[in-house]
Amino acid sequence: MSHEPLEFRVQESGVRLDKFLAPRLSDISRSAVQRLVGEGQITVNGEPVKASYKVQPGDRVVVHLLPHEDAELLAQEIPLDVVYEDEHLLVVNKPAGMVVHPAPGHPAGTLVNALLAYAPELAAGQDSRAEAERRPGIVHRLDRDTSGLIVVARSDKVRRALQRQFKERQVTKAYLALLDGHLQPAWGRIEAPIGRDPHHRQRMAVLPGGREAVTEYHVLEQFAHQVGPAAGRYSLVEAQPHTGRTHQIRVHFSSIDHPVVADPVYGRRRCSLPLERQFLHARRLAFQHPVARKRIDLEAPLPPDLERVLTLLRTA
């Protein structure tokens, strides 16, 4: 299977090539970008460059992703925060920075690699379709830099049953997000179709003719500070996506001019808060157990990096 090259036109200046590309390749870490540069899979204006190259306005950056489907999936002993487990499924509190499944430029160190070591039975019992084999047990996804709860099926039958619940909107998902600005009203619903951005193929956007996307939200706290590292106006919200579009919460809040704080793709260019990733955490997940027929309702606390930011805002 071949992969169509990805092309980006640079608008800013003075940013390292690897730093420019990392947020635009959502499934690939910055270190993986550096490796791709070293392997000659990334060019600028048709020429190979170093990862430290400073991009300039008008530069044409092309990323050639080599196929990875034939690479063997490795079981890796990577610590997992398992919050629920039985013989049919498990729920993991995924840390920020972890990719869910192997992708071009990121063949290892993913949640799938960790799961294969934790639950070796996932390597068997999947159907023969390439997608299922490459993502054993994976029911849904979280962005690399979004932390929180993700459910994993231990058999293909359970995976299909859970995916059907997601498709039929029977699963409750609740995220905590810190947004730029004071969002009004305190309760709201965003209904705006989402599709692939025709100008930036690695981004999503609100587009006429896009796929239906619905997000409800509730403002929990608001902050306003004039000076210091917490300077700015912010809203802490709980967001419930009723559909599962790529980057849905990030795109929806950006579309109403209240982007997720520190979002490198859809957010403000500058963030005064001490954050290395977007403030977005999947804190609650509730679904019907496909076998036990009981409701599973789980929560994951905010990770320390996000909790520190809230503490700063509350005490500044």
CB 121 within 8 A of CB 148: no
Residues 6+ apart with CB under 8 A from 195: 204, 205, 207, 209, 210, 211
How far lies 272's CA from each of 24, 204, 225, in Å? 21, 25, 11
CA torsion sign for 255, 180, 311, 78 is: positive
Residue of 18, 27, 143, 263 marked active site: 143
* H-type alpha helices, the chain: 17-21, 30-38, 111-118, 130-134, 156-167, 248-255, 304-315
CA torsion sign for 249, 254, 260, 266 is: positive
**Would you call 156 a catalytic residue per the annotation?**
no
How far lies 119's CA from each of 12, 15, 141, 155, in Å? 45, 41, 18, 11
Spatial CA neighbour of 131 closest among 105, 160, 109: 160
CB 106 within 8 A of CB 99: yes
The secondary structure element, H or E, covering residue 176 is strand 172-180
Which residues carry out catalysis?
A: 143
